[in-house]
Each structure stands twice: as structure tokens, then as C-alpha cells.
């Protein structure tokens, strides 16, 4: 779909991939309603965009259904219409096994990652279906098709986003709406900090030992991830895989699910203890 002069709602707009998506849409001549719980981060995004009223900020918790259901009216009041929705917001869990993971943490991850997507989709879908051309994009994760020990609740939420989005694609086939699901691999965002996750064990695992160099995991920059996400909406892509790790593990998990599972489990063993 054409991006210029269109109106897009972007969740997670206060930082990371969500911020990059918002900024790149502005650069492409679009109007943006950036949504996030973090008002200070949204203010930084607005300052970086320097786009006047073409970018509005909306401090909303996507897991708060009542607040989300009030968003379409607020966005339409600011921009007149809504042509696309990017559900980018997401959090991870602490790197611990399910047996040690508290119920309230599991619920928070599910509420943000899955219910946030469902709430936003339900709120804006009628508006999108009424437009001549519209797009809806949901960010899942490499962890949505590949089990990662220590991220079981996170992976379950992202797997649900994958199936939810693919079902929505099937249900809206033949309409004006294009539906896209995105699977990022390693992206150098601050998702751990934003999720309130202690990274000390991970940092220790990655640190140099016995004179050997530190382990380095190749990651994609938020700007490049944002570019690919925006391009996915523009092309009306069915699936977008971001990063060589996501592309490789996607293929391996389909060809040899057990081998892929054990490969990741071995890599996570030192982190989980």
C-alpha cells in the first residue's frame, strides 16, 4: 500500500523498533499516532520526528482494554482517519524456567504481548475495513516458532500472535486489508530493560573468560528492523523474517524441529543453570 499521506497507529512507539517504525513512516510522508505506556519516551520520539501535528502521542497501556477501545476516536480526532496499524509493543520474561516463574509475571507477558495485539486489532479493525486500502501488521518473534528455554511464556504469547495474525489474514482475504506477521530474530533494542528483566546472568555468560574473546551474537539494528517492518506493510507481505538467525532457524525448525529445539536448548543451558 502507498504510505505517503496515510495515517498509521504504531504501538511501542516510545523506543526500539516501534520508535523506528514511527520515525520512518514520518520520513515517508505519513501521519502517525504513536502509542506507548511511556510518555517520556513518546516525547523523545516526537522530538526526533520533528513533524508537528503529523505525529501525535498517546500514553496508553495496550493491555488496558477500555483505554484501547477509546483510542480510535482519539486518533480520528487528531488525524481524521486510520489506514494502518502496526502492533510492535512487546516485553519478555525473566530468563527462568516455568517451574520458577511466578503467575503474575506470566500474566503480564501474556497481557501485553497477546491481549495487547488482540485489543488493538479489535479496536481498529472496523476502521481499517472501512478504508479503500488498509494494512495491519503484528510483530511476533523468532521465539514464536522456536521454543526458547527460559522464555516459555514469552514464546507462547508470540506463537499465539503468529496464529492470530495468520487466521486474520485468512478471514480478511479478498478485502481491502493486507495482513502481515513479522518474525524478528536478534535486534539490538532495550527490550530487557523495558521488560524489567535482570540481564546480569546473560552479561556474565557473554563476558570474556580465560583470555578468550567475548561471545558476540550478531543482531540487527532497530533502524534496519524498522525499515523491514515498514517495507512489509508497504508490500502487503504475508510474512517478514528479520535477521539471518530468524531466517536460518525458521528453515531448521520446519525441517528438523527436534534438532532446532536442542540447538537452542544447548545455547541457553549456561544461562538457565
Q: Does residue 215 form part of some domain?
A: yes
Q: Does residue 264 form part of some domain?
A: yes
CATH number for 63: 3.40.50.720
The pLDDT of residue 219 is 84
Q: Does residue 21 form part of some domain?
A: yes
**Annotation marks residue 169 as catalytic:** no
Q: Does residue 192 form part of some domain?
A: yes
The pLDDT of residue 7 is 98
The pLDDT of residue 207 is 42
- Which helix (H) or strand (E) segment holds residue 31: the answer is strand 31-36
The pLDDT of residue 122 is 98
Q: Does residue 69 form part of some domain?
A: yes
Q: Categorize the per-residue pLDDT at 117 as very low, low, confident or very high, splitting at 50, 70 and 90.
A: very high
Q: Record the cell numbers describing residue 33, joined without a space.
A: 499516532
Q: Is the pLDDT of residue 158 over 70?
A: yes
For 204-256, how does the pLDDT look when each residue is reduced to its tens digit (9 = 90+)? 433 444 444 444 456 899 999 999 999 999 999 999 999 999 999 999 999 99
H helix intervals, the chain? 16-27, 39-49, 65-69, 71-79, 103-110, 116-129, 152-171, 191-194, 200-206, 222-235, 244-255, 257-272
Span 104-118, average pLDDT: 98
Q: Does residue 2 form part of some domain?
A: no
For 39-97, how does the pLDDT look when each residue is reduced to its tens digit (9 = 90+)? 999 999 999 999 999 999 999 999 999 999 999 999 999 999 999 999 999 999 999 99
Q: Is the pLDDT of residue 263 over 80?
A: yes
CA distance 244 to 68: 34
Q: Does residue 228 form part of some domain?
A: yes
pTM score of the predicted model: 0.88
Q: Does residue 1 form part of some domain?
A: no
Contacts of 87 (CB under 8 A, 6+ apart): 11, 62, 116, 117, 120, 121, 136, 137, 138, 139, 161
Q: Categorize the per-residue pLDDT at 181 as very low, low, confident or very high, splitting at 50, 70 and 90.
A: very high
Structural domain count of the chain: 1
Span 126-135, average pLDDT: 97
The pLDDT of residue 188 is 81
The pLDDT of residue 198 is 52
Given 115, 124, 154, 183, which residue is catalytic?
154
Mean pLDDT of the chain: 91
Q: Which domain holds residue 85?
A: 7-272
The pLDDT of residue 212 is 46
CB neighbours (10 Å) of residue 131?
17
Q: Record the cell numbers describing residue 148, joined without a space.
A: 526458547
Q: Is the pLDDT of residue 184 over 70?
A: yes
The pLDDT of residue 197 is 53
Span 134-153, average pLDDT: 96
Q: Record the cell numbers describing residue 187, joined without a space.
A: 535486534
The pLDDT of residue 189 is 62
Amino acid at each position: 500500500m502507498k504510505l505517503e499521506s496515510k495515517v498509521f497507529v504504531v504501538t511501542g512507539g516510545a523506543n526500539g523498533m516501534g520508535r523506528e517504525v514511527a520515525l520512518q513512516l514520518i520520513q515517508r510522508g505519513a501521519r502517525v499516532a504513536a502509542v506507548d505506556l511511556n510518555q517520556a519516551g513518546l516525547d523523545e520520539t516526537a522530538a526526533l520526528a520533528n513533524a508537528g501535528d503529523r505525529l501525535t502521542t498517546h500514553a496508553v497501556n495496550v493491555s488496558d482494554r477500555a483505554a484501547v477501545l477509546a483510542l480510535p476516536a482519539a486518533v480520528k480526532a487528531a488525524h481524521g482517519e486510520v489506514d494502518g496499524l502496526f502492533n510492535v509493543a512487546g516485553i519478555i520474561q525473566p530468563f527462568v524456567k516455568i517451574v520458577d516463574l511466578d503467575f503474575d509475571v506470566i500474566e503480564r507477558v501474556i497481557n501485553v504481548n497477546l491481549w495487547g495485539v488482540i485489543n488493538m486489532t479489535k479496536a481498529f479493525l472496523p476502521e481499517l475495513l472501512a478504508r479503500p486500502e488498509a494494512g495491519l501488521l503484528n510483530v511476533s518473534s523468532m521465539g514464536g516458532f522456536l521454543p526458547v528455554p527460559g522464555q516459555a511464556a514469552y514464546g507462547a504469547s508470540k506463537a499465539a500472535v503468529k496464529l492470530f495474525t495468520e487466521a486474520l489474514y485468512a478471514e480478511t482475504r479478498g478485502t481491502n486489508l493486507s495482513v502481515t506477521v513479522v518474525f524478528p530474530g536478534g535486534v539490538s533494542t532495550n527490550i530487557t530493560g523495558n521488560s524489567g528483566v535482570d540481564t546480569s546472568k546473560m552479561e556474565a555468560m557473554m563476558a570474556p573468560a580465560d583470555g578468550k574473546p567475548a561471545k558476540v551474537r550478531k543482531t540487527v539494528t532497530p533502524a534496519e528492523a524498522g525499515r523491514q517492518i515498514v517495507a512489509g506493510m508497504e508490500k502487503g507481505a504475508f510474512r517478514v523474517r528479520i535477521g539471518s538467525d530468524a531466517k536460518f532457524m525458521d528453515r531448521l525448525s520446519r525441517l528438523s524441529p527436534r534438532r532446532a529445539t536442542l540447538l537452542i536448548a544447548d545455547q541457553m543451558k549456561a544461562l538457565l543453570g
